[in-house]
């Protein structure tokens, strides 16, 4: 069974992101030892551990790369990754090595959050890698432009998770993490909501809920709630005759002045400026992301 593939296109596509190699390997031999400074090839490597463990050395720092961990390195570069048979079990990995002029800034962003990344086995970057590998086998990535789009989509799944700083898996019901408390916020945004009741909706302690929510979504529960309130306030500003004070009260803000500060922070203008149309957004609904 073929477990790895390489791509070589007859023409040069320096503006595209392309696959050099992609594959799945079980390593049992100490001969698996790659010194990044002496390699003759160039590119960017993502390697993920399915089972066992290996070692990554980067600029004098040593990392054990365990199950559900990936590393990212640029080739050539000041790194070494290798397998130590004393681990007692094989190192099973999947990988993709990429090239292209657009890769440098993306890889730099990834490496700043690495070089070792924690990714659950059912996390979207791993699912997306499997789709890349499957479509490589089926011959669906032979067009360099199609391949480049797919690589970019895959890279964005990693950037999204690493930027949010969480290790969340996809929920089987397709809902976002902490969907119950999010739904609660969207239903009850017009009144005072405290952390205790949000945590209770998720059946967690207040402390655990706050930390877990931030890890999963990249912002605090109150930041999320304020975004919901500002979205609703923007709709009322554009589609009702309520005063700014009435809208502040209707969307759960304690005072008009606090409402104004929060609205300006998220939208970039005061509620009154938004109502007067001091923007060029021809939209029916404002979404804060």
What percent of the chain has pLDDT above 70? 90
Domain with CATH 2.60.120.10 in the chain: 4-164
How deeply is 90 buried, as exposed, middle or buried, from its count of CB atoms within 10 A (0-12, 13-18, 19+)? middle
How deeply is 214 buried, as exposed, middle or buried, from its count of CB atoms within 10 A (0-12, 13-18, 19+)? middle
pLDDT score recorded for residue 162: 66
Angstrom distance (rounded) from CA 96 to CA 87: 24
pLDDT score recorded for residue 138: 92
* CATH tag, 4-164: 2.60.120.10
13 close to 92: Cβ distance less than 8 angstroms: no
Which of residues 214 and 247 earns the better pLDDT score? 247
Per DSSP, which regions of 169-277 are E strands? none
Angstrom distance (rounded) from CA 3 to CA 219: 40
Indicate the CATH number of 179-275 among 1.20.1740.10, 3.10.580.10, 1.20.1260.10, 1.10.10.60: 1.10.10.60
Residue 102's closest CA among 44, 57, 62? 44
| Confidence band for 278, pLDDT divided at 50, 70 and 90 | low
Model confidence over 79-90: pLDDT tens digits? 999 999 998 899
Mean pLDDT estimate for the chain: 87
How deeply is 55 buried, as exposed, middle or buried, from its count of CB atoms within 10 A (0-12, 13-18, 19+)? middle
pLDDT score recorded for residue 55: 97
Q: What's this model's pTM, rounded to 2 decimal places?
A: 0.62
Largest pairwise CA distance in the chain: 74
Model confidence over 150-186: pLDDT tens digits? 999 998 888 877 665 544 444 444 445 788 899 999 9
pLDDT score recorded for residue 261: 96
Model confidence over 34-65: pLDDT tens digits? 999 998 888 899 999 999 999 999 988 999 99
């Amino acid at each position: 069974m073929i477990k790895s593939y390489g791509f070589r296109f007859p023409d040069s596509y320096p503006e595209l992101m392309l696959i050099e190699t992609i594959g799945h390997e079980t390593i049992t031999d100490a001969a698996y030892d790659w010194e990044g400074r002496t390699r003759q090839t160039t590119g960017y490597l993502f390697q993920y551990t399915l089972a066992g463990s290996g070692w990554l050395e980067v600029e004098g720092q040593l990392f054990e790369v365990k199950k559900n961990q990936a590393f990212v390195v640029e080739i050539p570069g000041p790194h070494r990754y290798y397998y130590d048979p004393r681990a007692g079990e094989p190192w099973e990995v999947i990988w993709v090595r990429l090239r292209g002029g657009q890769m440098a800034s993306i890889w730099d962003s990834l490496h700043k959050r690495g070089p070792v990344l924690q990714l659950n086995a059912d996390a979207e970057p791993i699912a997306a890698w499997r789709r890349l590998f499957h479509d490589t086998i089926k011959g669906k990535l032979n067009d360099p432009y199609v391949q480049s789009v797919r690589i970019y989509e895959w890279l964005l799944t990693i950037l999204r998770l690493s930027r949010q700083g969480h290790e969340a898996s996809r929920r089987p019901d397709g809902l976002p993490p902490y969907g119950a408390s999010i739904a609660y916020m969207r239903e009850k945004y017009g009144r005072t909501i405290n952390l205790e009741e949000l945590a209770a909706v998720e059946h967690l302690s207040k402390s655990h809920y706050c930390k877990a929510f931030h890890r999963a979504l990249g912002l605090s529960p109150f930041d999320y709630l304020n975004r919901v309130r500002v979205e609703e306030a923007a709709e009322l500003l554009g589609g009702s005759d309520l005063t700014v004070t009435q809208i502040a009260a209707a969307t759960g803000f304690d005072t008009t002045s606090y409402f104004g500060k929060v609205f300006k922070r998220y939208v970039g203008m005061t509620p009154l400026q938004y109502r007067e149309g001091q923007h060029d957004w021809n939209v029916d609904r404002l979404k804060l992301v």
